[in-house]
Structure 1
């Protein structure tokens, strides 16, 4: 069949357009949060509902790791610091602890043979770069979700010093595109007092930092501060499909399930994780 020059040009334009659409779609897919897709593929959850994801916290010892790997949680969260004495290497511990019975290298080897996702929480910059080198070795042949977390801005009531965001993001920028960056604010909460929420300045500054990142981003937000931050956090989620929330709580914080529901009702249920006690998480699913 003979094609005229005009038909050839039109065909070339159509094919070019299809290629552009595919590339844009593929880039968007690569930059989206694939956590739920992985757990669905393993039949660990029933639907793309982030509230179904269960968490283990402070898995900073060999015994806690064994317990978490044998338990029902989907995501294992642990803290990474540099050991306070020689040999100076990344270990699993939360300040003020300075030592541990398990290094990050051994911890990663322990989770590597399981289908659990991991979330590594960094409290200081000195642990980030050496940890990324260890993590990159594991990620070459490992498919479960990987999240890296740091508080990079000061938030409501926050007393701790946040990590310098440019240094942290520079250290993690070469992680695979599917890696979720969990970027938060330092916060505080005091019983019996009026606790301010996340201000417009706080969320706008966070979005300014995150808008050009090539990874999916989840914002860890304190459950007890949600009700007074609804407008601000709603706006933040609306800025990109790459963004999700991860709702967490301090041990003594007070909040109600009703405080959590605006985000579940307004957005796709795949966009808000609930890193909460199972009693609250289950009630969210059933409400």
Structure 2
């Protein structure tokens, strides 16, 4: 049974947490600012002193079998360990999203998180791509292994559960289909904590019916819109997403220049 989602807890919605703390004017996910890929000492320090609400970083084991470090494949080493990263971030007022590319990194990372939990009274998201998705080629993290490991240690954490995806400029890219969203809904139906689904901006517009249905399955669900560096999508695509979903249940972790153009279009300061 999940622990109560108390104020300042890991399962509190980011919009509610930052609005309650006076850092967000409205209950609107578009107002939550992100710092992406804080995977080095420099990036972690910059993120810590930035105006971001949420800091995203990637965790893997050094060389595939060492200590948890902050790096994104194909990198296998880093100048900062997860322990050092947490030492920096714990002294801020920012929420965190840790993205796991392999199951092996999860348990040792949870042990480090447990040590700083009393100092992290803010949103904590743990992310993994647990299902194959549109145009995806990477291996998914084992869903049962990830969920069993995380929920046995932190029943109150926010889960960020996604699909492996790809995007190709020279072909028509398929979106999230009914098989994908229904399998995700089935997996999440037995969970009691909040779940956000990271979905690729360039693939959302062709998946609106499916994603609307998925979000309607529980008021614990939200979307996090993200993008790859080479993806082609428009501000109009982001505005279309915003028009079709509850504003408090969609976050936008997107890159420039679309991020600034989107915020300007909806009247939110970057």
Q: TM over 0.5, yes or no?
A: yes
Scaled by the length of structure 1, what TM-score is found? 0.85
1:285 paired residue number: 266
**CA separation of 1:83 and 1:147: change in aligned 2, threshold 3 A:** same
Distance 1:122 1:254 in 2: 25
Q: Which runs of 5+ in 1 are unaligned?
A: 1-25
Distance 1:253 1:207 in 2: 27
Structure 1 residue 41, shift from structure 2 partner: 2.3
2:31 paired residue number: 52
Structure 1 residue 57, shift from structure 2 partner: 1.1
The DSSP-based 3-state class of the residue aligned with 1:143 is: coil
1:179 paired residue number: 157
The count of residues paired between Structure 1 and Structure 2 equals 261
Counterpart pick for 2:57 among 71, 74, 78: 78
Distance 1:186 1:75 in 2: 22
The DSSP-based 3-state class of the residue aligned with 2:58 is: strand
Structure 1 residue 257, shift from structure 2 partner: 2.5
The 8 Å contact of residues 274 and 281 in structure 1, kept in 2 or not, is answered as no
2:161 is the counterpart of 1:188:
no
**CA separation of 1:213 and 1:183: change in aligned 2, threshold 3 A:** same
The DSSP-based 3-state class of the residue aligned with 1:173 is: helix
What does the per-residue CA deviation read over 1:93-128, in whole Å, with 9 as the maximum and x for residues that have no partner?
111111111111111111111101110000011100
2:264 is the counterpart of 1:267:
no
The DSSP-based 3-state class of the residue aligned with 1:161 is: coil
Distance 2:47 2:264 in 1: 23
Scaled by the length of structure 2, what TM-score is found? 0.90
2:63 is the counterpart of 1:63:
no
Q: CA RMSD in A?
A: 2.1
The 8 Å contact of residues 105 and 134 in structure 1, kept in 2 or not, is answered as yes
Distance 1:203 1:51 in 2: 23
The 8 Å contact of residues 234 and 263 in structure 1, kept in 2 or not, is answered as no
Distance 1:242 1:33 in 2: 10
Distance 2:218 2:99 in 1: 24
Counterpart pick for 1:215 among 171, 186, 193: 193
Q: Which runs of 5+ in 2 are unaligned?
A: none
1:135 paired residue number: 113
The 8 Å contact of residues 83 and 91 in structure 1, kept in 2 or not, is answered as yes
The DSSP-based 3-state class of the residue aligned with 2:86 is: helix
Distance 1:31 1:121 in 2: 16
Worse-superposed segment, 96-105 or 162-171: 96-105
Structure 1 residue 38, shift from structure 2 partner: 1.5
Bigger helix fraction: 1
Structure 1 residue 221, shift from structure 2 partner: 0.3
The 8 Å contact of residues 36 and 253 in structure 2, kept in 1 or not, is answered as no
Distance 1:261 1:204 in 2: 25
Distance 1:174 1:46 in 2: 35
The DSSP-based 3-state class of the residue aligned with 2:242 is: helix
Structure 1 residue 177, shift from structure 2 partner: 4.5
